[in-house]
Amino acid sequence: MSPRAVVLLSGGLDSATVLAIARHEGFETYALTFRYGQRHQIEVDAARKVAASLGAARHVVLDIDLRAFGGSALTSDLAVPKDRHPSSMSAEIPPTYVPARNTIFLSFALGWAEVLESNDIFIGVNALDYSGYPDCRPEYVAAFERMAQLATRRGVEGQQTLVVHAPLIQLSKADIIRRGMGLGVNFGLTWSCYDPPSDGKPCGHCDACFLRTRGFLEAGVADPGFY
Amino acid sequence: MSPRAVVLLSGGLDSATVLAIARHEGFETYALTFRYGQRHQIEVDAARKVAASLGAARHVVLDIDLRAFGGSALTSDLAVPKDRHPSSMSAEIPPTYVPARNTIFLSFALGWAEVLESNDIFIGVNALDYSGYPDCRPEYVAAFERMAQLATRRGVEGQQTLVVHAPLIQLSKADIIRRGMGLGVNFGLTWSCYDPPSDGKPCGHCDACFLRTRGFLEAGVADPGFY
């Protein structure tokens, strides 16, 4: 029997690549997506298609209402910044940062992993072509992993170690795209834009659109999505 | 202006005492309760009454569906154990353990604290008269605190330290009851039973009922609740 892994899946190209990597490494994959009050549901639909196309054993979509707290352009009426200069993306934390989002997502993944008797969680965080979010850095992932050891049965009963895999953390967006294509990811199913206009197409001006467009350019391949 | 604190509030007597302690220490309190798929809503109603009676500045009740994962007697059809011998409570992890529950709760508290610009989270975990849960131990709380430093803006921008307060962690249930009464907590508003029968009264036989009853006996005071 293949070992099981819980894979956080947003519907974007990073987490789609991570799901393909987990499968490639021999895991039976359990994909976990959140409707957390983000501006649109397109990415949840994208996550469903990606999970099905990459053979996830199960895909759970959980509702959690981060709008109850606000504090982010993705979960409130704050404006999503457009056409930011690339240099400012790593220099400041933008309003699209959602407080503690990755910690909340990883915590749910930890709970599901324990129920599945899985020792492996995969997350598509990236410390290079990212938006300056604190919870995308290697030292954060390592600290979560240490906490997770103590948080569950394994911490008391001396069972196997829990590993938080972040296989993209040191890759450029172009590297991620190449890696995903090599593993058969259909990026045409994925979605990146933070703030699509009502026509259902990407805005082309937010950080996520910028990073995606530049990534495909640098990888030298055409984006099979809406871009 | 008083500093703000996020206080996890279940509606039981431990977290009610913690809310009173946070207020006593001079914090403006923001109480956070979860409907996570537990067997009954009585404790959420209790939390509302407790928050109001102890002057919380705001009380948020969040819905998160931990039934999607199962794995616990509190969130599935597994039976809640009754009439366990006290010695077995610290020797084994019972089926009422909810995988990663405190990690999930603390993660949401972390997000809210960041939005509120609060550096203080309070949780009523207890390592003495507890049910053998891994996420109630001091080493777990310390590891969460270390992770939390890195998870949010403060981890990048070098702001003040986040503190996870667990003021009950080394107290007996009787000590907690005495402390709460000294701070004016009305324990008649609180609820402890894991598995109330349909008459709306506590079952009197689960771990939570046992620990509460023994605590009031040892404290030498009458339980003003249904017990």
How many angstroms separate the CA of residue A54 from the nearest CA in chain B? 21
Instruction: Tell me whether A140 touches chain B (CB under 8 Å).
Output: yes
A-B C-beta contacts closer than 8 Å: 151
Per-residue pLDDT, A113: 94
Q: pLDDT tens-digit profile of B106-147?
A: 999 999 999 999 999 999 998 876 556 788 889 999 999 999
Instruction: Tell me whether B151 touches chain A (CB under 8 Å).
Output: yes
A-chain residues near B156 (CB < 8 A): 93, 132, 134
Length in residues, chain A: 227
User: Do A174 and A219 contact (CB within 8 A), yes or no?
Assistant: yes
| Tokens 């206009």 sit on residue | A197
Rg (CA), chain B: 17
pLDDT at position B157 over 80: no
B-chain residues near A104 (CB < 8 A): 104, 107-108, 111
Average pLDDT (B17-21) is: 98
Pick the CATH number of A4-219 from 2.40.10.10, 3.20.20.140, 3.40.50.620, 3.30.420.40: 3.40.50.620
Flag the least confident range among A172-186, B28-42, B178-192: B28-42
Q: Which one of A63, A66, A67, A103 makes the best mutation probe of the B interface by having the most chain B beta carbons within 10 Å? A: A103
Domain residue spans of chain B:
4-219
A-chain residues near B104 (CB < 8 A): 104, 107-108, 111
Q: pLDDT tens-digit profile of A126-141?
A: 887 555 678 888 999 9
Tokens read off for B42 = 């009585």
Beta-strand (E) ranges in B87-212? 120-122, 163-165
How many angstroms separate the CA of residue B109 from the nearest CA in chain A? 9
User: Do B64 and B32 contact (CB within 8 A), yes or no?
Assistant: no
| Tokens 């090599």 sit on residue | A182
